[in-house]
Amino acid sequence: MMNERRRVLLKGAFLTGGTGLAMAIGLVAPKALLAAWPEKAFRSSDIVEALNNLLGASEYLESDAVSLNVPAIAENGAVVPVTLTSNLPNIRTLSIVVPTNPAPLVASVSIGPNGVGFVSTRIKMESTGDVLGIVESDGQLYMAREEVRVTVGGCG
């Protein structure tokens, strides 16, 4: 038992030290390790501004090809499970937007060329309102909308 704990500790120390050393001598840049974050989009207080900053467009069409699974009632707005799926071709991004939040853009995931249109996460909601799932496919934005009633707010 003690040997196993020691091995786990040593592995963690070597991995942390190795990553730090690789960054220090320039083999790996921190930006390569961390995903790019579109700060302007996530700090926007308006949906149109957020989508323009993130995707370069803000007009979307409601579509049955986009599926959003959220609870009808969320007892705690700090932890609202959301699943966004789509079978549209050539999906580039999957985004989750909550218009009633102070910063409406909650999540955005970029999908690679052979990726699957699926993302599941937990989000924060300030109050009762719609959750929008927006999918970018072939240069067009498609959307699904579901209302979630929040009993205890989770933002702020």
- pLDDT, average across residues 18-32: 55
Question: What pLDDT score was predicted for residue 38?
Answer: 84
Question: What is the average pLDDT across 58-86?
Answer: 94
Instruction: Determine the average pLDDT of the residues in 9-37.
Output: 58
Tokens (6 digits) for 125? 């909601």
HSE, CB side, 13 Å, CA atoms: give it for residue 76: 4
- Beta pairing class for 60-62 and 140-150: parallel
Residue 30 has pLDDT above 70, yes or no: no
Dihedral angle, C-alpha 131, 153, 71, 82, nearest 10 °: 50
At the topology level of CATH, where does 35-150 sit?
A: Immunoglobulin-like (2.60.40)
pLDDT for the residue 39: 87
pLDDT value, residue 153:
67
Average pLDDT, the chain: 84
Average pLDDT over residues 16-43: 64
Q: Where exactly are the structural domains of the chain?
A: 2-32, 35-150
* pTM reported for the whole predicted model: 0.75
Q: To which H or E segment does residue 67 belong?
A: strand 66-69
